[in-house]
A and B are shown apart, each in its own frame.
Chain A
């Protein structure tokens, strides 16, 4: 008799997002889906508003990716008004973005992934959290995490007034510049951040790479998925989080496409399946392939590992060394190991810290020329950045007064939605065995899900990002026979 297990990562509403794992009569995994229920109305909410409001509104969509939405919206305004930010304004924006990326990546690594690796994937969920991590690695590590995060937030606060939901965002510039006094502590923060990023990578090496059991897990087929990859690269095809062209590589690492994000419609298709409200993205030139990996797939992944897979290298020297080390360990590019998303996050954090040093030392940073006012409304604007979780595209259309007539967002979790389903299915197939499903088994499936750090709020343009986890195990009649809850 078939059995259904529901892994229910609800948002604030019961049932708004869950993983369903179907077991066959032998207790083996037959199928798995990640389902999200959409809350409609975002586009309607935006229409009729001045486009300039979008950098303030869109950060509120998401409790965890506010700066990327602010930045994508601001860049969409640049495009809408046919204006380039001044060089100093661009530096200030990139400084904001580097600070955000580090903060977000560290929260993910230390609060979400470290509990699985440091405390252990099968540990009691009550211990498998940041406090358990600190017990293992020492209180001083926790203090360092809080310190680097605070410093990054101070930078965001300085530039965008509110560290979590930035308010700044002007076409052609930034609302405020940087003074020489501020440069001093920004430099100190940049140096501190480089040191911390190296410390975090060393911790990853000591805890994960030096532990054969964990390294085998990272390299195992259960956490391997052969897809295409997409991410921004600069003119030298080095990784870039703020700007550039979108590069797509195939599962063998060959360049499949390189395009201006403004042309995204030609390359990214959206597909509707009856089991999810997320519009599933795929490579339009191949066509929807369904949930298959390897040869014939049209699915691609975005996010930290995808960005490294599409790049010829990192843009900064210390991060480049770590990039080379990662691919040596994983057996070359592209790496299809889903758990390597965590490793890639730390390498990106190092690049962001080094980039912050570059910016802090640039004489132009304190220039007062922070706004280009040569605005010419063209009625369509598209902005793209790499959010912490992957490629983020904002597309606005307006009337001749700049009032929105259309707003469309394509977000990281949307790109990754289909691969998330497949990753969960592969991990569940390997580790979940019925009929008595133990909590530790489900966590092994959740580890695959967690590597992407998916955000339901963005995927459905709906809710503010919080997502506790409820696991319902149902019998063949659909009745819940056991419920596990974890924050």
Chain B
């Protein structure tokens, strides 16, 4: 099975880019998974995801009252920061569109949103709070991806 870990975010917007960092680390911890990181949105994602069997998305998330560093597993249709775009097509439409056009589109594994708060500034490093929590976030998501791909025998 071809598995894609898609990290989304902007590399020059500090905490907004946390999904990019996490995806790279998950790739080292989940055997056989491929990693793609991107700042793209909308239809541009088609080229990145077509051809895979399963895709896991990792992205920054801002919700009212969210706790910085919290990992939220979004159910199908739940949106993180970069999954919707008014300039084109949203991610879930894209999955349908690709299928209609004959592309082999992946099954959606999970969508992980990492709460980053609402103070975003330009920068190439994470804020100190998220930097401190990063190792824990990475292990938590890696465990979840692995258990999703290899559910324990019961």
Residues of A within 8 A of B97 (CB): 130-131, 134, 142
Is there contact, CB below 8 Å, between A464 and B118?
A: no
Q: Which B-chain residue is minimally distant from A42 (CB atoms)?
A: B122
Q: Does A191 contact B (CB under 8 A)?
A: no
Q: Which B-chain residue is minimally distant from A467 (CB atoms)?
A: B86
Is there contact, CB below 8 Å, between A153 and B101?
A: no
Q: Does A378 contact B (CB under 8 A)?
A: no
The answer to whether residues A13 and B62 also contact, given A45-B122, A464-B13, A464-B16 and a CB cut-off of 8 A, is yes
Per the bound structure, the CA–CA distance linking A9 and B60 in Å amounts to 18
Q: Does B54 contact A (CB under 8 A)?
A: no
Is there contact, CB below 8 Å, between A164 and B96?
A: no
Is there contact, CB below 8 Å, between B39 and A60?
A: yes
Q: Which B-chain residue is minimally distant from A135 (CB atoms)?
A: B100
Q: Does A70 contact B (CB under 8 A)?
A: no
Q: Which A-chain residue is minimally distant from B79 (CB atoms)?
A: A468
Residues of A within 8 A of B16 (CB): 12, 463-464
Contact of A60 among B11, B85, B93 (CB under 8 A): B11
Q: Does A455 contact B (CB under 8 A)?
A: yes
Is there contact, CB below 8 Å, between B87 and A107?
A: yes
Is there contact, CB below 8 Å, between B81 and A143?
A: no
Is there contact, CB below 8 Å, between B39 and A57?
A: no
The answer to whether residues A455 and B93 also contact, given A41-B121, A164-B39 and a CB cut-off of 8 A, is no
Contact of B120 among A39, A45, A107, A129 (CB under 8 A): A39
Is there contact, CB below 8 Å, between B10 and A464?
A: yes
Residues of B within 8 A of A111 (CB): 42-43, 87-89
Chain B 38-57 interface residues, beta-carbon cutoff 8 Å to A: 38-44, 46-47
Q: Which A-chain residue is minimally distant from B93 (CB atoms)?
A: A129
Per-residue contact bits, chain B 1-32, to A (CB 8 Å; 1 contact, 0 not): 00000000011110010000000000000000
Per-residue contact bits, chain A 134-162, to B (CB 8 Å; 1 contact, 0 not): 10000100110010011001000000000
- How distant is B74 from chain A, measured CB to nearest CB, in Å? 14
- How distant is A246 from chain B, measured CB to nearest CB, in Å? 25
Is there contact, CB below 8 Å, between B81 and A466?
A: yes
Is there contact, CB below 8 Å, between A112 and B88?
A: yes
- How distant is A447 from chain B, measured CB to nearest CB, in Å? 13
Is there contact, CB below 8 Å, between B90 and A131?
A: no
Contact of A165 among B39, B81, B92 (CB under 8 A): B39
Per the bound structure, the CA–CA distance linking A44 and B124 in Å amounts to 13
Contact of A129 among B10, B44, B64, B89 (CB under 8 A): B89
Per-residue contact bits, chain A 111-139, to B (CB 8 Å; 1 contact, 0 not): 11000000000000000011100100001
Contact of B40 among A134, A164, A469 (CB under 8 A): A164
The answer to whether residues A45 and B123 also contact, given A13-B62, A466-B87 and a CB cut-off of 8 A, is yes
Contacts across chains A and B counted by CB atoms under 8 Å: 132
Residues of B within 8 A of A41 (CB): 121-123
Per the bound structure, the CA–CA distance linking A9 and B87 in Å amounts to 11
Is there contact, CB below 8 Å, between B85 and A467?
A: yes
Query: How many B residues touch the partner, as a band?
Result: 35 or more
Per the bound structure, the CA–CA distance linking A464 and B101 in Å amounts to 27
The answer to whether residues A139 and B89 also contact, given A45-B123, A164-B40 and a CB cut-off of 8 A, is no
The answer to whether residues A130 and B93 also contact, given A60-B39, A107-B42, A150-B47 and a CB cut-off of 8 A, is yes
Per the bound structure, the CA–CA distance linking A44 and B122 in Å amounts to 8
Per the bound structure, the CA–CA distance linking A150 and B50 in Å amounts to 13
Is there contact, CB below 8 Å, between A142 and B100?
A: yes
Chain A 1-35 interface residues, beta-carbon cutoff 8 Å to B: 9, 12-14
Residues of A within 8 A of B96 (CB): 131
Per the bound structure, the CA–CA distance linking A455 and B90 in Å amounts to 16
- How distant is B52 from chain A, measured CB to nearest CB, in Å? 17
Is there contact, CB below 8 Å, between B85 and A465?
A: yes
Is there contact, CB below 8 Å, between A487 and B84?
A: yes
Residues of A within 8 A of B11 (CB): 60
Contact of A142 among B79, B86, B101 (CB under 8 A): B101
Residues of B within 8 A of A139 (CB): 100-101
- How distant is A109 from chain B, measured CB to nearest CB, in Å? 11
Per the bound structure, the CA–CA distance linking A63 and B39 in Å amounts to 7
Residues of B within 8 A of A462 (CB): 13, 120
Per the bound structure, the CA–CA distance linking A476 and B120 in Å amounts to 32
Residues of B within 8 A of A466 (CB): 41-42, 81-82, 84-87
Chain A 44-62 interface residues, beta-carbon cutoff 8 Å to B: 44-45, 57, 60-61
Per the bound structure, the CA–CA distance linking A40 and B122 in Å amounts to 8
Q: Which A-chain residue is minimally distant from B123 (CB atoms)?
A: A45
Residues of A within 8 A of B88 (CB): 64, 107-108, 111-112
Residues of B within 8 A of A57 (CB): 12
- How distant is A102 from chain B, measured CB to nearest CB, in Å? 14
User: Could you tell me which B residues sit within 8 Å of A by CB distance?
Assistant: 10-13, 16, 38-44, 46-47, 60, 62, 64, 79, 81-82, 84-90, 92-93, 96-97, 100-102, 118, 120-123
Known: A14-B118, A112-B87, A466-B42. 14 other contacts (CB 8 A): A12-B82, A60-B12, A64-B42, A64-B88, A130-B93, A143-B102, A463-B10, A464-B39, A465-B87, A466-B41, A466-B82, A466-B84, A467-B87, A487-B92
List 19 A-B residue pairs with CB atoms under 8 Å apart, sorted by A's residue number.
A14-B64, A41-B122, A45-B12, A57-B12, A60-B12, A60-B39, A63-B10, A63-B41, A111-B89, A129-B93, A134-B97, A143-B102, A149-B43, A165-B40, A450-B86, A463-B120, A467-B86, A468-B79, A468-B86
Top 7 nearest A-B pairs (CB, nearest first) are: A45-B122, A487-B90, A468-B84, A467-B86, A12-B81, A466-B85, A41-B122
